[in-house]
Structure 1
Amino acid sequence: MLELRSVTAGYDRAAPVMRGVDLTIAAGASVGLLGPSGCGKSTLARVAALLHRPDAGQVVIDGQPARGWRHRAPREQRTAFGVVFQQPRLSADPRLTLTDLIAEPLRAVGRAPEAAAVVPALAARVGLGKDLIGRRPHEVSDGQLQRACLARALVLRPRWLICDEMTAMLDASTTASLVHVVEEYRAEHGAGLLAVGHDRVLLERWCDGTTHWDDLTGGL
Structure 2
Amino acid sequence: MLTALGVTAGWVPGRPVLRDVELTVREGEVLGLQGPSGCGKSTLARVLALLHRPDAGTVCIDGTTVPGFRHAAPRALRTRIGVLFQQPRLSVDPRLTLRQVIAEPLLANGLRGQVRDRLPGLVETVGLTAELLTRRAHAVSDGQLQRACLARALALRPRYLICDEMTTMLDASSTATLVHAVQEYRRRERAGVLAISHDDTLLGHWADRIEQLPGPAAASAQGP
Instruction: Using structure 2 for the length normalisation, give the TM-score.
Output: 0.94
Q: Which whole-Å CA distance do the structure 2 matches of 1:127 and 1:106 have between them? A: 20
The answer to whether structure 1 residue 75 and structure 2 residue 75 are counterparts is: yes
Kept after mapping to 1: 8 A contact 2:5/2:20: yes
Report matched runs for 1:196-207 at 5 Å.
196-207=196-207
Q: What CA distance in whole angstroms lies between the structure 2 residues aligned with 1:46 and 1:57?
A: 14
Q: How does 1:12-23 map to 2 (within 5 A)?
A: 14-23=14-23
Secondary structure in structure 2 of the residue aligned to 1:211:
strand
User: In 2 relative to 1, CA 11–96 (structure 1 residues): closer, same or farther, beyond 3 Å?
Assistant: farther
| CA RMSD across the alignment | 1.7
Q: Which residue of 1 aligns with 2:120?
A: 120
Instruction: Figure out how many residues of one structure are paired with residues of the other and give that number.
Output: 220
- C-alpha displacement of 1:15: 2.5
Q: Is the CA contact 2:18–2:219 (under 8 Å) kept in the aligned structure 1? A: no
Cα displacement (A) at 1:16: 1.0
Once the two structures are TM-superposed, the CA of residue 28 in structure 1 deviates from its matched residue by 1.4
1:29 and 1:191 in contact (8 A); partners too? yes
1:92 maps to 92
Deviation at 1:11, TM superposition (A): 4.1
Aligned mates of 2:138, 2:50 — CA distance in 1: 29
- Structure 1 residue runs without a partner (length 5+): none
Shift of 1:25: 1.6
Contact 2:39 2:214 in 1 (8 A): no
1:212 aligned partner = 212
Q: Does structure 1 retain, via aligned residues, the 8 Å contact 2:147–2:178?
A: yes
1:138 positional shift? 0.6
- What residue number does 1:105 align with? 105
Q: 1:111-137 deviations in whole A, cap 9, x for unaligned?
A: 012112211321122111011011000
- Give the whole-Å Cα distance in 1 for the aligned partners of 2:195 and 2:93: 24
Q: Cα 1:191–1:5, aligned 2, differ >3 Å: closer, same or farther?
A: same
- Stretch moving more, 114-123 or 177-186: 114-123
What is the one-letter code of the residue matched to 1:86?
Q
Specify every segment of 5 or more residues in structure 2 that has no aligned partner in the other structure, as ranges.
none
Instruction: Give the AA of the match of 1:175.
Output: T
For 2:43, the aligned partner's letter is T
Instruction: Classify the secondary structure of the residue corresponding to 2:16.
Output: coil
Q: CA deviation at 1:154?
A: 0.4
Aligned to 1:153: 153
* Matched position secondary structure for 1:195: strand
Q: Which amino acid aligns with 1:2?
A: L
In 2, the alpha carbon distance for the partners of 1:118 and 1:146 equals: 18
Going from structure 1 to structure 2, the CA distance change for 1:13 and 1:20 (only over 3 Å counts) comes to farther
Q: Is the 8 A contact 1:104 1:152 kept in 2?
A: yes
TM-score (norm 1): 0.95
Secondary structure in 2 aligned to 1:186?
helix
Identical residues among aligned pairs (%):
59
Which letter does structure 1 place at the counterpart of 2:7? V
Which residue identity does 1:104 align to in structure 2? E
Match of 2:130 in 1: 130
> Taking structure 1 as reference, are residues 13 and 49 closer, same or farther at Cα in structure 2, changes over 3 Å only?
farther
